[in-house]
């Protein structure tokens, strides 16, 4: 068992504007944590700091005891941190199978090969099929991603991220833009994620948060307002006032 | 980094017939052209060399989405390197070709390390500036390059020690076509490979590629070097076939022409590069023979037409026609 992800005193400033303030928290292995907060609270900034898109002004990011704060984005993925995008970011001209082939080839260190066929590894092809079965998208295997419904694209997005076999998975608004008739597919897929995977869900949809998270962190103005179980968060007066609105207090 | 844990053997790309298809098509087309236009072989050879150059540009623009206007830098370096080798070291054409490839690759590596940290307009501007600097350097270094007069009197020995380069240009044509077939085979293998798939991924979404752990910059530099080597081969062939290298090999207009040819044919597909080059060169030849001063009007009109009617280039014409027929 690894130690999971530990964030210590993480701060980010753009000039005089502080967007992450001394954030300290842990994501133990296998945890299901939701990060909530009003618009502009710094949730996506926090995700970008974890994935290496942004460099922190100060603080440490430790994964299984190793400081990964100095690694670039791609190296952090290889270390075990992966995220889905708020707005679907897929290879639209490639089929679902080709989309999934890419991260697996990358994970296995095969993308520098020039004199071998991309579909030439039986193990990788079998893993792609297995992944599609897990997320129930096997019927879409040979369709170009651009032809898929948005809900299906979100599932491919999730599959693509799982394909790198992360230790920590950051889901940035996984149900954003998904029609209500398809959002149950996302919830079911998240519930079926491997139990040893640490999951951080950034989400506005509180119903989804309460369904999948066993711990919630509330972020306001770049700082942690509180963290606790869903019951503790929902009964906290400060959260109700700041996040759910004064009328709820 | 994850250690590869693969148990099954990969299938060799070379076994696939589809990999050979572009090269076979080119060889068949060239054989036909050789028989039909026996007195236009020098023009046909120019087309073939330009095809090699445009295919190299397709690797970076069509496959990896790297848009530059400085591809002539690698072509020019290949041309000068082959010319200098032939004049001072050895007239062997194959050695000249290899040196041209190395010169193109080295120039691509050096420039790519800087260029590929940028994108968009910045990349376009820096790539143009780079060829301008090279052109000026070639112009100033008269002791090496012959300055504005260029390198003249380049001669090469018989190909493989057997085939003398003849006045009609038969050997030069066959030599160039063979090199093009080889380049196409290499490119087709590359496109079908994991590296080629990664390039298509970068072209589709570089941010997503980073998010699955791909060192995007490194992959871009690698393909830029490969494309640079192929452009260098095209430059070397030009030097060997024409016997002359002038500073215009670094002209901005050459880089622009290459981009136009690729857009006309269709980026991202090797056949597009071939069709675009053929069309551009033939139309240019015919239009310039009718009106030597206003031939660009025809090329411009053709480009506008293709961009509006067939944004994916002439290669997409059959698909577009099928779509229209289905609708009607």
Rounded percentage of chain A residues whose pLDDT exceeds 90: 58
> How many alpha carbons fall within 13 Å on the CB side of residue A28?
4
Chain B contact for A144 (CB, 8 A cutoff): no
Query: Which residues constitute the domain of residue B279?
Result: 16-327
Identify the closest residue of chain B to A100 by CA–CA distance: B212
Nearest-CB residue to B197 (from A101, A108, A163): A101
CB within 8 Å of chain A, chain B residues 171-190: 189-190
| B159: number of Cβ within 10 Å | 18
DSSP A41: S
Contacts of B193 in chain A (CB under 8 A): 113-118
Say what the pLDDT of residue B7 is. Answer: 41
Q: Is residue B142 part of a domain?
A: yes
Say what the pLDDT of residue B3 is. Answer: 40
- Counting the structural domains of chain B, the total is 1
Q: What is the pLDDT of residues A51-89, one digit of tens each?
A: 999 999 999 999 998 999 899 999 999 999 999 988 889
CB within 8 Å of chain A, chain B residues 245-274: none
Nearest-CB residue to A114 (from B2, B193, B208): B193
Q: What is the pLDDT of residues A8-52, one digit of tens each?
A: 999 999 888 889 999 999 999 999 999 998 888 889 899 999 999
Arithmetic mean of pLDDT, A127-143 = 93
Distance, CA of B268 to CA of B284 (rounded, Å): 23
Say what the pLDDT of residue B231 is. Answer: 98
B212, A117: Cβ pair inside 8 Å?
Answer: no
A121 token code pair: 């590894």
The shortest C-alpha distance from A215 to chain B (Å) reads 26
The shortest C-alpha distance from B218 to chain A (Å) reads 10
> How many alpha carbons fall within 13 Å on the CB side of residue A191?
11
A91, B208: Cβ pair inside 8 Å?
Answer: yes
Say what the pLDDT of residue B167 is. Answer: 81
Q: What is the pLDDT of residues B175-221, one digit of tens each?
A: 999 999 999 999 999 999 999 999 999 999 999 999 999 999 999 99
Are the C-beta atoms of B188 and B22 separated by less than 8 Å?
A: yes
The shortest C-alpha distance from B171 to chain A (Å) reads 30
Element at B269 (helix H, strand E): none
**CATH number of A5-248, picked from 2.60.120.590, 3.30.70.20, 3.40.50.300, 3.40.50.2020:** 3.40.50.300
Q: Is residue B8 part of a domain?
A: no
B12, A163: Cβ pair inside 8 Å?
Answer: no
A118, B201: Cβ pair inside 8 Å?
Answer: no
Q: Is residue B229 part of a domain?
A: yes
Whether the pLDDT of residue A145 is over 70: the answer is: yes
Nearest-CB residue to B7 (from A51, A74, A123): A123
B2, A113: Cβ pair inside 8 Å?
Answer: no
Q: Is residue B93 part of a domain?
A: yes
Contacts of B7 in chain A (CB under 8 A): 123
Say what the pLDDT of residue B10 is. Answer: 45
B12, A101: Cβ pair inside 8 Å?
Answer: no
Q: Which candidate, A57, A83, A82, A52, places its Cα nearest to that of A68?
A: A52
Say what the pLDDT of residue B208 is. Answer: 92
Contacts of A157 in chain B (CB under 8 A): none
DSSP B4: P
The shortest C-alpha distance from A113 to chain B (Å) reads 6
B10, A51: Cβ pair inside 8 Å?
Answer: no
Instruction: Please report, for residues A8, A14, A23, A64, A224, the alpha-carbon distance to residue A59 in angstroms, rounded to integers and kept in the order given.
Output: 6, 15, 8, 16, 15
A34 token code pair: 């939701």
A89, B216: Cβ pair inside 8 Å?
Answer: no
B190, A114: Cβ pair inside 8 Å?
Answer: yes
Distance, CA of A190 to CA of A66 (rounded, Å): 27
Counting every residue written for chain B, the total comes to 328
Q: Is residue B2 part of a domain?
A: no
ipTM rounded to 2 decimals = 0.84
Identify the closest residue of chain B to A157 by CA–CA distance: B208
Q: For B263-288, b where at least 16 C-beta lie within 10 A, e where not — what string?
A: bbbbbbbbbbbbbbbbbbbebbeebe
Chain B contact for A161 (CB, 8 A cutoff): yes
Are the C-beta atoms of B62 and B268 separated by less than 8 Å?
A: yes
Are the C-beta atoms of A26 and A5 separated by less than 8 Å?
A: yes
Residue A238: partners with Cβ closer than 8 Å, 6 or more residues away: A225, A226
Q: Is residue B288 part of a domain?
A: yes
Whether the pLDDT of residue A242 is over 90: the answer is: no
Q: Which candidate, A148, A150, A174, A177, places its Cα nearest to that of A161?
A: A174
Chain B contact for A109 (CB, 8 A cutoff): yes
Say what the pLDDT of residue B133 is. Answer: 95
Q: What is the pLDDT of residues A209-232, one digit of tens each?
A: 888 999 999 999 899 999 999 889
The shortest C-alpha distance from A179 to chain B (Å) reads 24
Model confidence at A245, pLDDT cuts 50, 70, 90, reads: low
Chain B contact for A133 (CB, 8 A cutoff): no
Chain A contact for B7 (CB, 8 A cutoff): yes
Chain B contact for A115 (CB, 8 A cutoff): yes
Say what the pLDDT of residue B13 is. Answer: 44
Nearest-CB residue to B1 (from A78, A116, A118): A78
Q: Is residue B273 part of a domain?
A: yes
Say what the pLDDT of residue A10 is. Answer: 94
Q: Is residue B5 part of a domain?
A: no
Residue-by-residue DSSP string for A52-92: TSS--SEEEEEETTEE-TTS-HHHHHHHTEEEE-SS----T
* Residues in chain B where the model's pLDDT stays below 50: 1-14
Please report the beta strands in A66-212, taking only residues with DSSP state E, as ranges in sequence order: 66-67, 81-84, 168-172, 198-202
Say what the pLDDT of residue B294 is. Answer: 82
- Count chain A–chain B contacts defined by CB atoms under 8 A: 133
Distance, CA of A171 to CA of B122 (rounded, Å): 33
């Amino acid at each position: 068992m690894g130690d999971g992800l530990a964030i210590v005193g993480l701060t980010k400033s753009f000039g005089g504007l502080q967007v992450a303030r001394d954030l300290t928290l842990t994501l133990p292995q296998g945890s299901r944590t939701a990060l909530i907060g009003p618009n502009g609270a710094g949730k996506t900034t926090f995700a970008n700091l974890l994935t290496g898109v942004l460099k922190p002004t100060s603080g440490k990011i430790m994964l299984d005891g190793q400081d990964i704060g100095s690694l670039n984005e791609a190296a952090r993925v290889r270390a075990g941190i992966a995220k889905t995008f708020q707005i679907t970011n897929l290879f639209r001209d490639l089929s679902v199978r080709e989309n999934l082939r890419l991260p697996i080839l990358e994970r296995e260190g095969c993308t520098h090969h020039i004199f071998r066929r991309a579909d030439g590894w039986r193990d990788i092809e079998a893993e792609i099929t297995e992944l599609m079965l897990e997320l129930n998208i096997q019927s879409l295997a040979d369709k170009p991603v651009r032809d898929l419904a948005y809900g299906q694209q979100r599932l491919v997005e999730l599959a693509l991220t799982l394909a790198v076999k992360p230790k920590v998975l950051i889901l940035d608004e996984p149900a954003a833009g998904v029609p209500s008739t398809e959002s149950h597919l996302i919830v079911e897929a998240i519930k079926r994620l491997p139990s040893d995977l640490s999951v951080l869900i950034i989400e506005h949809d509180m119903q989804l948060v309460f369904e999948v998270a066993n711990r919630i962190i509330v972020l306001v103005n770049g700082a942690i307002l509180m963290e606790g179980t869903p019951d503790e968060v929902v009964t906290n007066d400060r959260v109700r006032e700041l996040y759910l609105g004064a009328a709820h207090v | 980094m994850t250690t590869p844990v693969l148990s099954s053997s990969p299938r060799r790309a070379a076994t696939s017939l589809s990999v050979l298809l572009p090269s076979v098509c080119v060889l068949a087309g060239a054989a036909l052209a050789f028989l039909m236009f026996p007195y236009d072989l020098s023009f046909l050879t120019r087309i073939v060399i330009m095809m090699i150059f445009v295919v190299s540009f397709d690797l970076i623009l069509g496959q990896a989405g790297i848009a530059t206007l400085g591809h002539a830098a690698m072509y020019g370096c290949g041309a000068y390197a082959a010319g200098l080798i032939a004049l001072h070291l050895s007239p062997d054409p194959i050695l000249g070709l290899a040196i041209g490839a190395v010169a193109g690759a080295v120039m691509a590596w050096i420039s790519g390390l800087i260029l590929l940290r940028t994108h968009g307009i910045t990349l376009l501007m820096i790539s143009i500036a780079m060829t301008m600097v090279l052109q000026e350097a070639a112009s100033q270094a008269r002791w090496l390059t012959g300055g504005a007069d260029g390198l003249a009197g380049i001669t090469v020995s018989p190909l493989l020690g057997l085939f003398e380069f003849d006045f009609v240009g038969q050997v030069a044509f066959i030599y160039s076509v063979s090199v093009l077939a080889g380049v196409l085979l290499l490119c087709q293998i590359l496109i079908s490979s994991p590296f080629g798939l990664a390039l298509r991924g970068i072209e589709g979404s570089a941010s997503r590629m980073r998010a699955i752990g791909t060192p995007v910059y490194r992959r871009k530099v690698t393909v830029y070097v490969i494309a640079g080597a192929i452009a260098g081969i095209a430059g070397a062939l030009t030097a060997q076939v024409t016997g002359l290298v002038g500073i215009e090999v670094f002209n901005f207009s050459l880089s622009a022409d290459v981009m136009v040819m690729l857009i006309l044919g269709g980026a991202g597909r090797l056949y597009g590069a071939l069709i675009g080059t053929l069309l551009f060169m033939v139309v240019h030849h015919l239009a310039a023979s009718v009106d030597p001063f206003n031939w660009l009007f025809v090329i411009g009109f053709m480009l506008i037409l293709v961009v509006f009617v067939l944004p994916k280039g002439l290669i997409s014409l059959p698909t577009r026609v099928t779509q229209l027929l289905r609708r009607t």
